[in-house]
Amino acid sequence: MRLRIAALLVAAGTGVALTAQALRPADRTWTTAFVLDPGELVTTGRNPYFILEPGYVLTLEDGKTRLVITVLDETRRIDNVETRVVEERETVNSELVEISRNFFALSTRTNAVFYFGEDVDMYKNGKIVNHEGAWRAGENGARFGLAIPGLPLLAAKYYQEIAPGVAMDRAEIVGLDETVKTPAGEFSGVLKVAETTPLEPGVRELKYYARGVGLVMDGTLRLVKHGKQ
């Protein structure tokens, strides 16, 4: 999950309450514990701002940069949870710079979407150069986080990724009724989320999610088209 790219303090997962580990005192204002009932997670469905339906595609652009997000007809078992694979493919000047395969699951109880990790391939001159930012819940101390709540609350603060030293993205809900204009249309009632990470102090990126659509703006990238393939 790219960082350019409360909430429900009770949400989804493996039936285990997670506790904060190795977090600085200032970080403990962010929710890190998500409680799930066994069997409540599914790999297909949607909440108001996030669609997990195979074949659904979002395309965002800014000049020569393009981000294509595709919900794949593929699942992967991560930390004993079946998750849906969502591919993000980023190009600049039509040259591939990154492909990530992200793992999500949806709670049938809270309608929240949980994030279980990502496989990352970074490219240069058409070749993979590293896998920076890759992590999976259940490996090397990493734990799942909350991608987006089913019922967003203003000022909610929660961790999306909990992979110490690798990926620690966190989100704060800073708007519930924004208006965003994009090449794909104008959207109202948009959810506004500010993302930060303690791994890069001072970096702050904004994302905007429209009801029934999903991500419509990611930093300077704006939605140009969306829908089933």
pLDDT in tens, 95-130: 999 999 999 999 999 999 999 999 999 999 999 999
For residues 159 and 97, what is the distance between their CA atoms, to the nearest angstrom? Answer: 26
Confidence of residue 12 (pLDDT cuts 50, 70, 90): very low
One-letter amino acid for residue 26 of the chain: A
Is residue 18, in this structure, part of any structural domain at all? no
- Which residue range is the domain that position 180 belongs to? 25-228
Is residue 212, in this structure, part of any structural domain at all? yes
Q: What is the pLDDT of residue 37?
A: 85
Is residue 2, in this structure, part of any structural domain at all? no
* pLDDT at 10 > cutoff 90: no
Is residue 76, in this structure, part of any structural domain at all? yes
Is residue 156, in this structure, part of any structural domain at all? yes
Report how many domains make up the chain: 1
Is residue 8, in this structure, part of any structural domain at all? no
Is residue 130, in this structure, part of any structural domain at all? yes
* Position with higher pLDDT, 7 vs 59: 59
- Mean pLDDT within 73-97: 97
| Residue 36 to residues 41, 43, 142, Cα–Cα distance (Å) | 8, 15, 17
Q: What is the pLDDT of residue 19?
A: 34
For residues 220 and 229, what is the distance between their CA atoms, to the nearest angstrom? Answer: 24
| Residue 181 to residues 59, 177, 205, 224, Cα–Cα distance (Å) | 15, 13, 18, 10
Percentage, residues of the chain above pLDDT 90: 85
Is residue 54, in this structure, part of any structural domain at all? yes
